[in-house]
């Protein structure tokens, strides 16, 4: 996965391909509605994928939703292609868990 910081134009193009993900500074975030135990299972599956690709999200689990926040720490906390590839993986895993978009 590419770990070079992306220019704003590429970031915008990647976000257009990932509905539900929002840029917050040099991070992208998304939350999914899922009950607590379902959120734990979702996190375990995401963690397995993260281990395989060598990239991880910051994860916040609440009783009714889970929020993912992604940036590339070893690129100076900037957005890279790796972040968007991980976001797409998280979307596929969340869909398999029937997690819905969470309106925070």
Please check the confidence at residue 94 and state whether its pLDDT lies above 60.
yes
Residue 47: give its domain's CATH number.
Answer: 3.30.1360.20
Supply the range of the domain harboring residue 63. 8-101
* pLDDT interval class at 3 (50, 70, 90): confident
In a domain, 18, yes or no: yes
pLDDT 10s digits, 35-66 = 999 999 999 999 999 999 999 999 999 999 99
Is the residue at 68 inside a domain? yes
Predicted pLDDT of residue 2 = 64
Percentage of the residues of the chain whose pLDDT score is greater than 70: 97
Has residue 3 been placed in a domain?
no
* Confidence check: pLDDT of 101 > 90: yes
In a domain, 95, yes or no: yes
> How many domains does the chain divide into?
1
Q: pTM here? A: 0.95
Element (H, E) at 96: helix 81-96
Report how far residue 99's alpha carbon sits from residue 52's, in angstroms, rounded to the nearest whole number.
22
2 lies in some domain: no
């Amino acid at each position: 996965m590419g770990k070079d910081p992306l220019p704003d134009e590429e970031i915008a193009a990647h976000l257009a391909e990932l509905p539900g993900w929002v840029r917050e500074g040099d991070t992208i975030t998304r939350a999914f509605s899922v009950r607590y135990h379902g959120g734990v299972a979702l996190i375990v599956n995401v963690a397995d994928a993260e281990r395989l690709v060598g990239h991880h999200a910051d994860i916040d689990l609440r009783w009714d939703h889970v929020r993912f926040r992604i940036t590339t720490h070893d690129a100076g906390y900037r957005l890279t292609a790796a972040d968007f590839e991980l976001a797409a993986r998280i979307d596929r895993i969340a869909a398999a868990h029937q997690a819905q978009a969470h309106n925070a």
